Structure 1
Amino acid sequence: MKILINNMSNYFKAALLLGTITLVSCEKRLDIAPTASIADNLALNTEGDVLVTLIGAYDGAQSAAAYGGDIMVLNDLVGNSTNINFTGTFAGLSDAYQTQMVSDNGFARDTWAACYNTINRCNNVLTAVAKVTSSTTKRNSVEGEALMLRASMYFELVKLYAKFVGDGDYATNPGVPLVLTPTGNVTDANYPARATVKAVYDQVIADLVKAETLLPNSNGNYVSKWAAAAQLSRVYLMVKDYANARDAANRVITGSGKSLAANFGSNWFTFINNAGGTPGEYLFSLKVTAQDGTNSQNTYFGRNVGIAGTAGRSDCKIRLTHINAYETGDFRKGYFTLSGGNYYTNKHLDRFGDVAIIRLAEMF
């Protein structure tokens, strides 16, 4: 399944503009710098500039239109009509659910823009990473984080906006534009053609392979070596390179020090159950707090069950065919609730906490 966007040039231009930096200075009068360009003398000149821009890349990835949840919701709606019944009123999501996309679909536009916004921030970091001079370890981590985030955005873009590997010839099928250098000034030259699906996957793999070698084993709330290896396993699986997918997954299983949660429920309600702490099984996740971040999975799959911190629109119901697919005794079946004649998942009731991108369980 795929989302087709026919008129992406304006969306792409907007995405590139969003990724630029605007600086304003004031002396006796207000001097406003051009908003569509970055002057060479105002670019990333210090380690602090680079680190702030890297945080901006995480912020871009965290946006609602990207890993804040819309990417996951769009994938669920496009590929799971036999498991999910979407009853919401958002026309853009309804189009995705019915696989009847139009060129001005707002959700598709915003996800495209958010991903390229994040990519441009990563490109700015990668171009200026030599300015990180406090230590080689720090410079390697910064480079690895930017590569991991850029690869993840391209991975999501090529899955949503191009044909899957196996649907025709992926060496010639159009993928998405590959932009690997910062875009500071938007001109006609900034309308790159779509690279092939294979070229996009090749770039994603190259970025992740390098990121895995650069990143530390542990990196706090930021991506680590094991997050890169786990994402790499996913990518190899998508391109049907099963041996490398297995090997990358095994590296995570044996080297990350993580273990499967003894209580499946501890992977969910992360704010309510874990006081906002990241579940031990998570390899890659993004924080959502009352001050920052959005969880679109909560917005569309969640609902208020009378417990403080729960919320949601209840737009996505779970079909009985999905419920019946679980064997008797499968504890996962206990994470669905029948209410008002409809089944709902209980995994996304929590407004806050972590948005899980990759869990250890996916590596098995």
Structure 2
Amino acid sequence: MKYFKYLTIAVLLCTLQSCSDFLEQEPGTKTSIDEQLQNKQGVLMALRGVYSELEANVRNERFAVYADLQGGNIKFTPTVSGSSRGEISAPSFIKKVYSFEDDSDESDFKSFYDGSYDIINQANLILEYTPNLADATDAEKNQIKAEALTIKAYVHFLLSQIYAQNYGYTPDAAHPGIIYSTQSIKSGIQYPARETAANTYSLIVNDLKTALNNYGDRSLSSGPTYSYFNKNSAKALLARVYLYQKDWQNAYDTANDVITNSGVALMSSADYIAQWEQKDLPVSETLLDFTLPKDAEGAVSTSMSNYFGYTSATVYGDFVASQDLTDLYESGDIRKQLFLEKPLFTLVNGVLVNVNYNFTKKFQDNAGYVAFRLSELYLTRAEAALETEKPELAMADINTIRARANAALLTTTNNLKENILLERRKELCFEGQLFFDLARNQKGISRNDGCISTNCSLAYPSLKYVLPIPKFNINLNPNLKQNDSY
């Protein structure tokens, strides 16, 4: 694995750029990669490594809080101790992004950009070596190919959300998308240009369709089945992609397929809160929740609770729910019980006083990154039904989610679009959806409670709905065009 790691480090330094010096000068590198990936065991080790890097990249604090922070679901907790005790400020690693003032020279998201293309490169390596495995059956090779293709499509999709304007930003989605990497750096150095948004989505969909044609019944990797892509979670991803692409019929059909045929059921009202409160396992309706890293003793070493958790009045995460979010729930909505209200010393007019903050119970203890769960598919199907002129079906799906939450049921199909977006915000809060939902629906940003940004609102359209591509990468690739305004 050490040679595969050497390649990983090199890719991080020169993602999709001129890595020829490394590949030509590192003694034995080409042979070592060949040795690593010449048999099934080596490829599966590499695939587990890709999953590990993917988990770290999406659970990374920058990305994990991005959509909810930018959209207004999140505010910050006060400093625990020291000369700044009780003061509230944005963490330095995301301060520029939070104010919609990120810059390309030292982007807050450079590590995410580089890490994403590193993951894609490793997935491409696996795709290139797997067909030649002599010790794997065709079914095994197909399963490996399916998972690698899905990872590749997923990461490209995440990159498109961060670095490309929403699909409907221009007619026919002719505006810039992202670089879509179709082969590993080992195959040869390329200086690709960005695809259009339309082409980006087409490539994502094609990879997912190919993956779905290759999936078997189970992953070849050990560990919990919810930790690896399978046919159901790949379909959940495809449904999300179709939703963002505004391909409504395919979004409806794909979401309906998962709801009907996955064998996964929604959590019930009776155990909804208890399931989110449990210490270790993901909730039962989870379709994909990557395995958390563990230390030498097998204990979870880091989790989403690092950002959202509450242990005591002096040990807690940086992020809590804004009142903008908590005020959206009706008094009888059981989801209000998912907020853990705790007093924290806060500096108010120069005096330390106790102020109540709402921590989320979704991500306490050993909580992993929730990539997909069934509730999202119901809301995807609802939105797609509405857009395909089936408002009654849309209302039924919204009411399924609302009934479980003990919220008042909708009785009219008026304003269904707004009700769907509202339900997505309430049900999927802290799960990385809000900002992207607002962008794809071409809505402005309004952050009120707890907003300490220089820009608490953002009118749509705006060039600041996307982040700058790191200047390091722009300088290395003459064909890589920067986002406007950066």
* TM-score, normalised relative to structure 2: 0.62
Q: Equivalent of 2:182, from 172, 180, 186? A: 180
In 1, Cα distance between the equivalents of 2:75 and 2:35?
A: 50
Correspondences of 1:109-188 after superposition (within 5 Å): 109-132=110-133, 133-169=135-171, 171-184=173-186
The Cα of 1:258 is off from its aligned counterpart by 0.7
Residues 13 and 194 of structure 1: CA distance in aligned 2, closer, same or farther (over 3 Å): farther
Correspondences of 1:13-28 after superposition (within 5 Å): 13-15=13-15
Q: Equivalent of 2:356, from 325, 330, 341? A: 341
Residues 100 and 214 of structure 1: CA distance in aligned 2, closer, same or farther (over 3 Å): same
Cα pair 1:303 1:349 within 8 Å, conserved: yes
Q: Equivalent of 2:328, from 312, 317, 325? A: 325
Q: In the alignment, what sits opposite 1:44?
A: 37
Q: Equivalent of 1:245, from 241, 248, 251? A: 251
The Cα of 1:335 is off from its aligned counterpart by 0.8
Larger CA deviation: 189-198 vs 233-242: 189-198
Deviations 1:121-160 (A, max 9, x none): 1000111111344322211110110011111100100000
Cα pair 1:312 1:349 within 8 Å, conserved: no
Matched, 1:34 2:3: no
SS in 2 for 1:268: helix
Correspondences of 1:20-99 after superposition (within 5 Å): 34=26, 38-39=30-31, 41-42=34-35, 44-63=37-56, 65-68=57-60, 70-78=62-70, 80-81=71-72, 83-86=73-76, 87-99=88-100
Cα pair 1:266 1:279 within 8 Å, conserved: no
Larger CA deviation: 115-124 vs 65-74: 65-74
| CA-atom RMSD in angstroms | 3.1
Q: In the alignment, what sits opposite 1:229?
A: 235
Q: In the alignment, what sits opposite 1:212?
A: 212
Structure with larger Rg: 2
Q: Unpaired runs of 5+ in structure 2?
A: 1-9, 77-87, 220-224, 343-354, 379-486
Correspondences of 1:263-302 after superposition (within 5 Å): 263-270=271-278, 272=279, 276-291=280-295, 294-295=302-303, 297-302=304-309
SS in 2 for 1:202: helix
Deviations 1:86-111 (A, max 9, x none): 35542231222221111144541011
The Cα of 1:325 is off from its aligned counterpart by 0.7
Q: In the alignment, what sits opposite 1:190?
A: 190
In 2, Cα distance between the equivalents of 1:178 and 1:293?
A: 33
The Cα of 1:289 is off from its aligned counterpart by 4.2
Cα pair 2:120 2:151 within 8 Å, conserved: yes
Share of identical aligned residues, percent? 27
* TM-score, normalised relative to structure 1: 0.81
Residues 179 and 210 of structure 1: CA distance in aligned 2, closer, same or farther (over 3 Å): same
Larger CA deviation: 258-267 vs 121-130: 258-267
SS in 1 for 2:216: coil
Residues 69 and 145 of structure 1: CA distance in aligned 2, closer, same or farther (over 3 Å): farther
Q: Equivalent of 1:255, from 243, 258, 261? A: 261
Amino acid at match of 1:302: G
The Cα of 1:268 is off from its aligned counterpart by 2.7
In 1, Cα distance between the equivalents of 2:94 and 2:27?
A: 32
Aligned length: 330
Q: In the alignment, what sits opposite 2:458?
A: none
Larger CA deviation: 226-235 vs 123-132: 123-132
The Cα of 1:355 is off from its aligned counterpart by 2.0
